[in-house]
Chains A and B, each alone.
Chain A
C-alpha cells in the first residue's frame, strides 16, 4: 500500500512553526522596510513643496503682479493729462522697480532698472509737454482777448470786410483750440496750420490797415510763440512715443524673464507623491493578500498535516486497543517528524498488540491439542464433554459417547517400533476426524491408543452405524512398516448413549462407555458394545464380521 512512495523530507513541526512565524515577521518587516523610504520620500517632497515651490510660486505671482502694474503705470504716464498724476505714478514706478532688487535673480533688478531708464525720460517728456500745454493755454486766453479788439478795430472798416472776418474767426478758433488742447485728442499739425493761416491772414490785413500795426504785431508775436510751442509739443510727442515704445518693450522683456517652472515642479512633485502613495497602497494590499494566503495555507496545512495525523493516530490507538487491525491508509507517513514518530509508535503498538494476541491464541490452541495426532487432547475432551453434556441436558437432546481402543497396539509397537506405532495413531486419528465434521462433534485422544468421540444429536442407530463403519474401515488403513511388512489394524469400541441426559451424569456416561469397551475387549476385540443410559433399552450386542 505504499504506492505513493515514502516521503523522504520530514521536517520538525517545531521548526516549521518557527519558520512560519519568522516568515510572517520577515514579510511584515519587508513591507515596512519597503514602505518606509516611500513615506520618507513623500514627507521630503511635501517639505520641498512647502519650502521651495510654494514660496517660488508666491514670489512669481508677486513679480508678475508687479510687472503688470508697471505696464499699467507706463500706460498711465503716457496717456494721463494730469501732471500731478504723472508725478505720483512715476514715484510709484520707482518704488515698484526698486522692489525687484529683493529678488534673488539679479537679472530682474537689472531689467527693471532698464524699464525705469525709459520711464523717467517718458515722464520728463510728458511733464515738459504738459508745461508747454499750460503755457499755451494761458497764451490762448490773451489771444482770445485780441479777438474782441480785432472785431472792434477791423469789422467796421472798408474794404475788405471778408478778410477781417476771416482773421477774427481764425484767431478765435486758434485761441479755443490751444486753450483746451489735449496731448492725445488734439490734432497738432492742424493746430499748427491754423495758427500759420491766422498769422498769414493778419499779415495780409496789415497790408491794408497799417494804423493798428502795434496791436497786430503783439498778436502776431503771441501766435508765433503759440505755433513754436505747438511745434515743440509735436516734436516731443514723437520722442514720448519712442520712450513709451521702449518702456513697453523693456517691460515685456521683464515679464518674459518672470516665466517660472515652479508650478510645473510643484505639480510634478505632487504627481510623484501620488505615485509613492499608490506604491504604498500596493504594498499594503500585497501584504494583506500575502497574509491572507499564507494564513489560509497555514490553517489548511495545520489541519492537513498536523490535526489529521493526530486524529488518525488517536483512531489507530483506539483500534489497536480494541484489537482490530490498523487500516493501511493510516500507516502512510506524514510530513512532520514528530507526528511521524507518534504515528510510527502507534503503529508499532498496534503491531505488538496484534502479535501478542496471535501468540495467545496459538498458545491456547497448543494447550488443547494432542501433540502427535493434532486432534484434541484429554484436557480438551474433558472440557468439551462437560460442555456438550450440559447442552444436551439443557435442551433434552441425546448424546452419544464412543470410546475406541486399537487392538494389540503394544505388539505393533514392539514389533515395528514406536515410530510405526505413532504413524498408526496418526492414521487412525485422521480416520476418526472424518466422522466428526459436524459442529459440536469431536474426536479426542483419550490416552495411549485410546480415542474418544462425542456425538451430540445423533440417534442411537446412527451412532451404532457410525461405530460399525469405523470398525469396518480401520483394517483398510494398511500401513507399510519400515521392513516392508503390511500392518493391519483393528479396533474395539464402547458406545454409551442416552436420550435422557437429565437422568444420568457425564461421568456415568463415560463409565458406561468404558465398561462397554472393556466388554468389547473381553469379548474378543474388533467389535462394538453399546450401553444405553436413562431408560435402558434391551441390551444388544452386535458382532462385526
Chain B
C-alpha cells in the first residue's frame, strides 16, 4: 500500500526527468531531402519543400515525437553533409549500396521502384548495350544508375547531370537520346503535357545493382535514431499514415 501511494509521485518524478531529457534533446533534428526529385521531393508554387519524401520525413518526426527541421540539400552533398554532422538523417529516395553503407547507416526500405529508360518510342525500343551503341544516355551523378551505365553501357555516350530536372532538360532539348531514372519519377515527367512524344523505353531494368529499394540514410553513430526511425517507419506503415501519403502522390501502393 505504501508503494501504491508512492507511485504517483514516482510517475511525476519520471515525467519530470523525462521532460528534462526531452528538454535537453529538444534540439530539432536536421532532416535533408533533395528538393529536385518530383514527386518525391520538390519545391511547390509557394516555395515550400513538399513531396512524398518530405511528407514521410514529417510523419516519422511526428511518430518519434521529435521536432524536425527540413533542409534542401543537393544530391551529391547529402552523404558528405551527414558525415560532417550537419544532417541527422535524410529521406531522399536513396538506394543502399555497399559504398554508401560504409559512410552512413540505412533504415529498412520505405518504398520500392525500378529504373527505366525514357525517350522517344519511335526511335528506340531495344535497350540492350549493343543496340544503344553510340547513343547519348543521361542520368544523375553519383547515382546507382550512373554506376550501372558506366559498367554496362561502355559503348554509349554517358552524360552525368547534377539532378533529375537537368537530365530531363537534356532529353527534352534533344541533347540526350535516352534518360535513365526511377520509374516513378519518370512517370511524373511522362504525364506532363509537354512529354507526349516520350515514353518508357523497354521494360524496367532488372539488374541486381539497381537495387530498387529506397532507404532513409542516418548519420553514423546515431544508432538510437536509426532504431527509432525503423520503429516509427513500421508504425506509420501499419497505422495508415503511410497509406495516406502514398495515396496523395500515387494512385497505387509503392511500398
Contacts and interface: CB of A to CB of B under 8 A. Distances in A.
Contacts of B193: 84
Contact of B252 (A87, A99, A101): A99
Interface string A60-73: 00100110010000
A389 B237 CA distance: 123
Interface string B129-162: 0000000000000000000000000000000000
Contact of A95 (B183, B206, B237, B238): B183
Contacts of A99: 112, 252-254
Given A87-B196, A102-B112, A69 B252 contact: yes
Nearest to B187: A95
Interface in A62-95: 62, 65-66, 69, 84, 87-88, 91-92, 94-95
A365 B183 CA distance: 131
Contacts of B112: 99, 102
Interface in B188-211: 190-191, 193, 196, 199-200, 203-204, 206
Given A84-B193, A102-B112, A91 B204 contact: no
Interface in B86-112: 112
Contacts of A102: 112, 212
Contacts of A263: none
A58 B183 contact: no
Nearest to A83: B196
Nearest to A102: B112
A66 B200 CA distance: 20
Contacts of A66: 252-253
A357 B93 CA distance: 111
Which range holds the interface residue count of chain B? Answer: 20 to 34
Query: Which applies to chain A's interface (DSSP): helix, strand, loop or mixed?
Result: helix
A104 to B, nearest CB: 13
A98 B253 CA distance: 12
Interface centre among B183, B199, B253, B255 (most CB of A within 10 A): B253
Given A98-B204, A99-B112, A102-B112, A62 B255 contact: yes
Query: Which applies to chain B's interface (DSSP): helix, strand, loop or mixed?
Result: mixed
B221 interface: no
A359 B162 CA distance: 128
Contacts of B191: 88, 91
A96 interface: yes
Interface in B163-200: 183-184, 187, 190-191, 193, 196, 199-200
Contacts of A62: 253, 255
A246 to B, nearest CB: 20
A145 to B, nearest CB: 30
Nearest to A67: B252
A321 to B, nearest CB: 51
B187 A58 contact: no
B58 interface: no
A91 B190 contact: yes
B252 A98 contact: no
Contact of A98 (B114, B190, B196, B237): B114
A91 B254 contact: no
Nearest to B193: A84
B251 interface: yes
Interface string A92-124: 101110110110000000000000000000000
9 A-B pairs closest in CB distance: A62-B253, A96-B252, A69-B252, A88-B191, A98-B204, A102-B112, A95-B187, A66-B252, A91-B190
